[in-house]
Structure 1
Amino acid sequence: MGIMELFSPVAIAVLGSCVLYLFFRWKNLRGPPCIQGWIPWIGVGFEFGKAPLEFIEKSRIKYGPIFTILAMGKRMTFVTEEEGIDVFLKSKNVDFELAVQDPVYHTARIPKNIFLTLHEKLYVLMKGKMGTFNIHHFTGQLTEEFHEQLEDIGTHGTMDLSKFVRRLFYPATINTLFKKGLFLTDETKVKEFYQHFQTYDEGFEYGSQLPEWLLRNWSKSKRWLLALFEKNIEELRAHESVAGHSVTLIQAMLDIVEMETRRFSPNYGLMMLWASLANAAPVAFWTLGFVLTHPDIHKTVLEGISSVFGTEGKDKIKVSEADLKKLLLIKWCILEAIRLRAPGVITRKVLKPVKILSHTVPPGDLLMMSPFWLHRNPKYFPEPDTFKPERWKEASLDKNAFLDCFMAFGGGKFQCPGRWFALLEVQICIILVLYKYDCRLLDPLPKQSCLHLVGIPQPEGKCRIEYKQRT
């Protein structure tokens, strides 16, 4: 038998083993379906940017719950169902800070090195100051602030519901977390502030990704807001805090920032302003909208408020922690509104390959978990498209635990540190509005806008509320 005859079976076996190894290695490294478009770098950016939620909905129907899109030079891998939650929340191979540092720079001009140095320190501060053990410090002041804004609105009127809640929330939140009267000293300045903040807020998502020269009005409003903080930063530092706090939240934040740099104090002020205003008002909008369009729930909520505070509607009531515990239905309504109108995505950056189902997501991808679709999984939320506040009876809210797969506030190490403050101010606002006024909607509750993925979605159209002081 010749040497070639002996070698052939061995060679074939080795070659076959190599082929099998490479095949299984390729299969293991195979990424999710990728939607690339045909324009280099831009990819499907234009189509995606027109209506992100609609684009994702069509893509998940066509490609399944996990898929990747190429847009504006970025690879974004979307996970729209429960698969991948553990990877997203627990894997050491995905990172929150690296996912958001570019958007932070674009929207507030905070450089990467400063952001990465300060983020965890500031997160710990806010988590403590606004956490469950300290949140009661805000109850009295928020109640007073909302009373003051309701007095300004008057005894009756008709207004767009979105404008109605912004008119209550913007000054109440600023007066509580920053300084009473800051920015809002006369009608002209109030109007100017509202216009610039609304432009900044509505364009925030585009501004976080696109060059400023493409977004002139947004860029102008960003510069206006930064200049406002630069002008008022010394006054914020010197402001005397309310009882129960040694310093205000903004002062505590500035103390940490200025241990590293004073130059970027206004920038952090702008980020805190956006974070404190951008989501709370839409949550109040949707909660009031859902309650007012469900007569049985509306009636039960009013009966609960009357049982705690009476029915007069004219008294300047005080809301306590004990009162809030007696009105759990209102908290359920808020959480159910948030469930139905959750952010489109929350984001991590992939540092090393991660396996989700049969797909391997490569390093460099932005991994996008979708609370919006998780909250529509009937396995966890039966009748997922129905407003059912009673489902929250099953949550351990007394232990500050939400329902399984509820991800509106993020998860893992960096959950939203202001979630308890936001829930508190929406609760107080809903109580005071429905205590003081008989309310009804004059228009059908609009659908949510499909234009954005970040944060609580805004309504697609107008919706007027008629309010009249109760007698």
Structure 2
Amino acid sequence: MDFAALTEGVVALPPAALYLVGTFVFLLAVAALRVISNQLNAKAPPVFEGVPFLGGILKFVQGPMKLMAEGYARHGEVFTVPVLHKNITFLLGPCVSAHFFKANDEEMSQKEVYEFNVPTFGKGVVFDVDHKVRAEQFRFFAEALKTAKLKLYVPHFVSEAEAYFAKWGDAGEVDLSKAFAELIILTASRTLMGREVRENMFTQVAELFHDLDAGMLPVSVLFPYLPIPQHRRRDRAREELSRIFSKVIRARRASGAREDDILQCFIDSRYEKVYGGRALTDDEITGLLIATLFAGQHTSSITSAWTGYFMIANKATAWAAAEAEQRRVLAERGPAIDIDALGEMDALQRNITEALRLFPPLIMLLRQANAAFSVETSAGRRHVVPKGHIVFASPAFSHRLPAVFPQPDAFEPERFAPPREEDKVAPFSFIGFGGGRHGCMGSNFAYLQIKTIWSLLLRNFEFELVDPFPEADYDSLVVGPKPCRVRYHRRALHAQGI
């Protein structure tokens, strides 16, 4: 071997350049050794099971929050619970969640873990299609939720809420959860399903959606086609909704009429990268409407209720700040509630966000790992999550970690304001609307809807708790407050300027 030829270019370099090259090569070697060492030292997540074969099932039966608390106390941020033929790995906290939120659908897939929604949403949409088609359909959602569209929806939020609260007396008692569930389906009916449904078919469509909702049970996650009465009513409701919306869609297309609602956005949408650029079928539109309603109805009504309960329980701070903000907005802009006025309500938005931090409606987010990946805990332990594991991230648990949010059980909306901004200290600290590639596209829609509701209530009513502050109902798939009454008093007309 001619070593002179190999070193010819090197010996011609000046000493300073040789030093820089040598340093660079040394750093590369150190980095490579570190990667190899980490790979060799990485281990599969610790197993949290207890009784072999049955322990994982028993732990899930006791409830996910208790399971996560015990698993975290024993193993930290990463652990695996075997359940039947599946391995479920928990990633708790922002330190270990980056890959969960940032990976693409081919690496971390939603489809396999959310297929139980197919009987409800229908074939050919969302979780019944591959990731390329689903990306196109998510683009339709995004187009329908752009700022220019949201601006058109706000007047409908206002008119529906004003009409609903006009039916309240001068004083009375209500359960906020029940009241907001009724109101949100009204606003959704107008902005999502369209004027025709809201004006002519609301009762019928609302009852059909109730049957769909009642067919989403914990057993449905594992056995979505189990022949039980709730599933049979679900399937009949899905067929009838498809018939109703097909009639509405055909009528709009035939007449050329256009409306400012999400239904119109779906009618106008065209695939770009799949299906040869065709329009959506009537059944696809129906499925996307159902998916949109399911994504937002419970979450918005539940978050509206929690926001109210927390503001009423914290009159001197949270309520006072939101009320003072309404006074300022009224003085500067007058009584109109539009998208610009809502955009200035930062104190109210922080109240909503803090309520969502403490009680996110979706306590667990799921993916299937289609490729192995590694994570490193805050303590420096490395784990490789194997391919095929079901992976859970939990807003409900992660939002209560003291290392992420100091005094995590306290209601402190100002933690989201400068200079604290605790949600920005680490990526994916606040995941009330998910995050990363699958962050909720409807978050702005939800904030506008909830802020509209509470702007009207802050301006027109006083509230006090009748029952003790509610506990969370963790027996539901979507977690809301247990029943809790509040007493309201309508403000006198001259006091409505607050």
TMscore range, shorter length = 0.7 to 0.9
Supply the AA of the counterpart residue of 2:311: V
Matches of residues 20-169 of structure 1 in structure 2 within 5 Å?
28=41, 30-36=43-49, 44-45=56-57, 47-92=59-104, 94-110=107-123, 114=129, 116-132=131-147, 134-169=149-184
Label 1:146 to 1:226 Cα distance change in 2 as closer, same or farther (>3 A): farther
CA RMSD of aligned residues (A): 3.4
2: CA distance, partners of 1:60 / 1:108: 35
Residue 431 of structure 2 corresponds to 407
Segment drifting more, 259-268 vs 283-292: 259-268
Is 1:336 paired with 2:367? no
Is 1:291 paired with 2:291? no
Q: Which runs of 5+ in 1 are unaligned?
A: 1-23, 311-315
- Give the number of aligned pairs: 432
Supply the AA of the counterpart residue of 2:366: T
Residue 398 of structure 2 corresponds to 374
Does the Cα contact within 8 Å between 2:364 and 2:392 map onto a contact in 1? Answer: yes
Residue 275 of structure 1 corresponds to 295
Residue 182 of structure 1 corresponds to 197
Residue 430 of structure 1 corresponds to 454
In the TM superposition, residue 334 of structure 1 has moved relative to its aligned partner by 0.4
Residue 385 of structure 1 corresponds to 409
Label 1:45 to 1:174 Cα distance change in 2 as closer, same or farther (>3 A): farther
In the TM superposition, residue 28 of structure 1 has moved relative to its aligned partner by 4.6
In the TM superposition, residue 283 of structure 1 has moved relative to its aligned partner by 0.5
Is 1:220 paired with 2:240? no
Does the Cα contact within 8 Å between 1:395 and 1:403 map onto a contact in 2? Answer: no
Does the Cα contact within 8 Å between 2:108 and 2:371 map onto a contact in 1? Answer: no
Q: Give TM-score, length-normalised by structure 1.
A: 0.80
The secondary structure found in structure 2 opposite 1:394 is coil
In the TM superposition, residue 270 of structure 1 has moved relative to its aligned partner by 2.1
Residue 339 of structure 2 corresponds to 321
Label 1:260 to 1:132 Cα distance change in 2 as closer, same or farther (>3 A): closer
Label 1:132 to 1:70 Cα distance change in 2 as closer, same or farther (>3 A): farther
In the TM superposition, residue 29 of structure 1 has moved relative to its aligned partner by 6.1
In the TM superposition, residue 238 of structure 1 has moved relative to its aligned partner by 3.8
Is 1:418 paired with 2:442? yes
Label 1:184 to 1:30 Cα distance change in 2 as closer, same or farther (>3 A): farther
Does the Cα contact within 8 Å between 1:139 and 1:320 map onto a contact in 2? Answer: yes
Residue 18 of structure 2 corresponds to none
Q: Give TM-score, length-normalised by structure 2.
A: 0.76
Label 1:269 to 1:136 Cα distance change in 2 as closer, same or farther (>3 A): closer
Q: Cα deviation per residue 1:275-294 (whole Å; 9 max; x = unaligned)?
A: 13121000101000100000
Does the Cα contact within 8 Å between 1:394 and 1:403 map onto a contact in 2? Answer: no
Does the Cα contact within 8 Å between 1:226 and 1:267 map onto a contact in 2? Answer: no
Label 1:95 to 1:388 Cα distance change in 2 as closer, same or farther (>3 A): same
Does the Cα contact within 8 Å between 1:89 and 1:411 map onto a contact in 2? Answer: yes
Label 1:69 to 1:183 Cα distance change in 2 as closer, same or farther (>3 A): farther
Does the Cα contact within 8 Å between 1:351 and 1:363 map onto a contact in 2? Answer: yes
Residue 470 of structure 1 corresponds to 491
Is 1:248 paired with 2:261? yes
**% same residue:** 21
Label 1:130 to 1:52 Cα distance change in 2 as closer, same or farther (>3 A): same
Does the Cα contact within 8 Å between 1:345 and 1:372 map onto a contact in 2? Answer: yes
1: CA distance, partners of 2:415 / 2:82: 38
